A and B are shown apart, each in its own frame.
Chain A
Amino acid sequence: MNCPDQQPVIHVVDDEAPFRRSLLFLLESMGWHAVGHESAEAFLAAAPPFPAGGGCLVLDIRMPRVSGLELQRRLQATDSSFPIIFMTGHGDVELAVQAMKVGAVDFLQKPFKDQLFLDTVERAVQLSRERYAVTRRHHEARAVLDRLSVREWEVARLLAQGLANKEVARLLNISDNTVHVHRQHVMEKTGTGSAAELARLILRVDPGGLD
């Protein structure tokens, strides 16, 4: 947490300035780093990067012009990783349910207890961290695998599936020796020492990649 890059960031988007400021003040009271945005457009314009320490988006579901739901839709299109918590008015439960179906982590009906709000934010940030970790590993594995040539990738998949060199040679219609050379390159490039390790790496990138 000492490192600024590792600190979670909470973004609050609400057109009601006094209320928005009160939420920021509350979050800051608990040590969160919180940023306020007066509208959906303002948030999109700022386009904050997803923080390494995690974070979440607290979004008023009703706002003039671009609504909270519209912002959610646009963020999903850009593959954003921010978990979204919606704040709804009295009659907006249906909208909230709809938002949940398309991926919101939670919703809070105004007026809400500060503790509930903080707990929800906490959970969302935790979730974002987990998601971030998965994503990071996925990205790393992808980067490793991307170094393999096409033939090396074919050999690596078969080896990960537990096939012996001879069987790989026969399936790929190449010599045993050639398979051996490819195997050595794959192990070197991926830094793996066994077929099992290789399989784990591949599954991390694509859970159904060995089917």
Chain B
Amino acid sequence: MGIRIQKFAVSLFGLCCCLAAGLTFAAEDVRIGVLAWQGEEEAEVQWSSLVHGLEEKLPGRHIVLKHFNLEGMTTALQAGALDFVVTNPGHYVALEAESGITRIATQVAEASSDPGHVVGSAAVVLDRRRDLQSLDDLRGKTLAAVSPDAFGGYQLIWAELRRLGIDPERGGVNLLFTDFPMAQVVEAVRSGRVDAGVLRACLLESLERDGILPAGELRLLSPQQSASPCQVSSRLYPGWAFAAASGTSAALSRDVLFALLSLPANADGESWSVPADYHPVHELFKELQIGPYAFLRATSWDSLLRLYWPWLAGLILILLAWGGYTLHVEHLVQRRTRELTLALEERRSLEERVRSGQQQMDHLSRLSILGELSGTLAHELNQPLAAIGNYARSLLRRQDRGQLSAEALRQAAEEIAEESERAAGILGGIRAFAKKRSRVRQVCDIATLIRDTAALMRGIHAGAPELVLHDALDEAARRVDVDPLQIQQVLLNLLKNAWDAQLAIGSTQPIIVTLTREAERCAVDVRDHGMGLAPEVRDRLFEAFMTTKPDGLGLGLSICKTIVEAHGGELQARAADDGPGMVFRFSLPLATNPVADGEKT
């Protein structure tokens, strides 16, 4: 939008100028801009014959000649202030591209009728510099020229040097630009400030002819065979162009063309001919990457940037977005990983806590069961100890009284041995029972465990009822991989519960323990002859702190269930099929390892 407005403004400005010109000058004014390559004064002299000639050939038209440097002409053209321009081939090509001017004639030299081979360059040195013979000798030397934009004055020699592999742009030679007029270059060479200078073809001859320069003081490098009447160090290119501005009418262009072609040669023998092919100039510019081909130099980034910036911007945006997204994803992945690591860590520590908590719980439950038993425990343990003490004292007394018979000694000794074993049994069972321990698995015979537990219970409770074990299984079907103490704890709990249930109604019937095989499990039924439990109590039986006993903690069965389930088994309760009482059934997976390595020690 901005660009369009600018163009509009420019056209408007141009229109205003035209109107102003129309008002100021007569309608016949023909405005011609010329490149003043040797300064304005020189240009006035150089082109006066052209102005006079055209005014002569175009009656009623007023020729207005304007002098410009390179940039000034471009600006004037864009402002629409010129109808025609006269400029060197290089500048023409540049303006053709920039401002849309069209050549209508090309200047030719006197001896040449070929408008395509007119302009050339001469690289000159002081004649006494014997060391400088060809352009190739300029490597590392200092070279003066008017301007980097001068066609015959620099660019042609630049191209020749490039073809020799000497690129002034890359420090192949040291450049000194003197600016116009070109005489400054001659002075620089003559003064020895530079090793060589670049002159437009024929300038050297012209200066010598005019006596400004002593003949033979300057000499050409690499003189070329050419169609030019003057010496040149470069190839020849089309001559100066006479071109119409884009807004100039075809009629005016035609009139001016006819006038030009009919003009006689000027003092230097130059005349106007049909327009030449400026293609070689294009080639040169392309080679040097200047003028309209300057963008090639910046094939480079800025030209691409200028052409493709929306794409580039889009690409960069996409890249940025992609990069951002990647970073984001990376960040997410890292965060998730961190979270996952933390979660795993937490889970592990939780499991550790649960594990140790369960050990605490097992321990606690053992203690709580001990606590429930402890009322009778001290008493029960005191009994054998007191009996032992009594026997020992009695023996001493009989000995003192001289009444110790062999029979009495034997009786006492037998009783002492029996009672001490009983006490040791109680203590041993209790100690192993109360000891806090880590998870262990041993292949055990379940029947052995039951018998050991029954013995332990009778050791603790003298009045415990009889236990009847129904065991119809073969040995392999009784092998379970368990923590023997934990399973004993479960059994002791169930047996104690059974006994309590029977005590409540004064039943002295034996507790029945039955072993059955249940697929890949061994099931243990503990059946009491108590009065049973109401269904609603039965449902909540395995909840922690649920108890039917006045002084119970309600932890026993919930712990039993936990233990059995930790062994991969189940604990269930049901009413007995035959008569009152409950059946507690727990099952344990059979040991897959047939080797019995861990019988109870």
Contact = CB atoms under 8 A, between A and B. Distances in A.
Nearest to A30: B397
18 contacts: A18-B415, A19-B387, A19-B390, A22-B389, A22-B391, A25-B391, A25-B394, A25-B408, A25-B411, A29-B393, A29-B394, A29-B403, A89-B379, A89-B382, A90-B379, A111-B385, A114-B394, A114-B397
A176 interface: no
B219 to A, nearest CB: 140
B383 A26 contact: no
A114 to B, nearest CB: 4
A19 B386 contact: yes
Contacts of B462: 15-16
B391 A110 contact: no
B270 interface: no
A23 B379 contact: no
Contact of A111 (B382, B391, B411, B419): B382
Interface string A81-104: 000000001110000000000000
A26 B378 contact: no
Interface string B411-430: 11001001100100000000
Contacts of B279: none
A48 interface: no
Interface in A2-32: 15-16, 18-19, 21-23, 25-26, 28-30
A64 interface: yes
A28 B422 CA distance: 24
A26 B385 CA distance: 15
A111 B388 CA distance: 11
Contacts of B397: 26, 29-30, 114
Given A18-B383, A18-B419, A25-B411, 15 more contacts: A16-B383, A18-B415, A18-B418, A22-B389, A22-B415, A25-B390, A29-B397, A89-B379, A90-B379, A90-B382, A110-B382, A111-B382, A111-B385, A114-B394, A114-B397
A16 B391 CA distance: 15
Contacts of A18: 383-384, 387, 415, 418-419, 422
A111 B397 CA distance: 19
Contacts of B390: 19, 22-23, 25-26, 114
B129 interface: no
A25 B386 contact: no
B412 A110 contact: no
A90 B389 CA distance: 18
A47 B387 CA distance: 27
B385 A21 contact: no
A26 B393 contact: yes
B590 to A, nearest CB: 41
A18 B387 CA distance: 7
Given A16-B383, A25-B394, A90 B378 contact: yes
Contacts of B214: none
Contacts of A22: 386-391, 394, 415, 419
B412 A111 contact: no
Contacts of B411: 25
Interface string B436-467: 00000000000000000000000000110000
Given A29-B394, A29-B403, A114-B393, A21 B387 contact: yes
B600 interface: no
Contacts of B393: 26, 29, 114
Interface of A: 15-16, 18-19, 21-23, 25-26, 28-30, 64, 89-91, 110-112, 114
B398 interface: yes
Contacts of B401: 29
B379 A111 contact: no
B384 A111 contact: no
A29 B402 CA distance: 10
A15 B384 CA distance: 13
A111 B389 contact: yes
Contacts of A114: 389-390, 393-394, 397
A112 B390 CA distance: 9
Contacts of B387: 16, 18-19, 21-22
B398 A29 contact: yes
Nearest to A65: B506
A59 B463 CA distance: 18
B50 to A, nearest CB: 144
A25 to B, nearest CB: 5
Contacts of A29: 393-395, 397-398, 401, 403, 408
A19 B375 CA distance: 19
Closest 7 CB pairs of A and B: A22-B390, A22-B387, A114-B393, A29-B394, A111-B386, A29-B397, A26-B394
A111 B408 CA distance: 23
A38 to B, nearest CB: 12
A114 B385 CA distance: 13
Nearest to A112: B386
A53 B507 CA distance: 42
A63 to B, nearest CB: 10
Nearest to A87: B386
Contacts of B463: 15, 64
Nearest to A115: B393
Contacts of A112: 386
Contacts of B412: 25
Contacts of B383: 16, 18-19
A10 to B, nearest CB: 14
A16 B415 CA distance: 13
A95 to B, nearest CB: 14
A163 to B, nearest CB: 59
B406 to A, nearest CB: 15
A29 B411 CA distance: 13
A93 to B, nearest CB: 14
A22 B390 CA distance: 6
A135 B219 CA distance: 177
Contacts of B388: 22
A96 to B, nearest CB: 15
B336 to A, nearest CB: 63
A110 B434 CA distance: 26
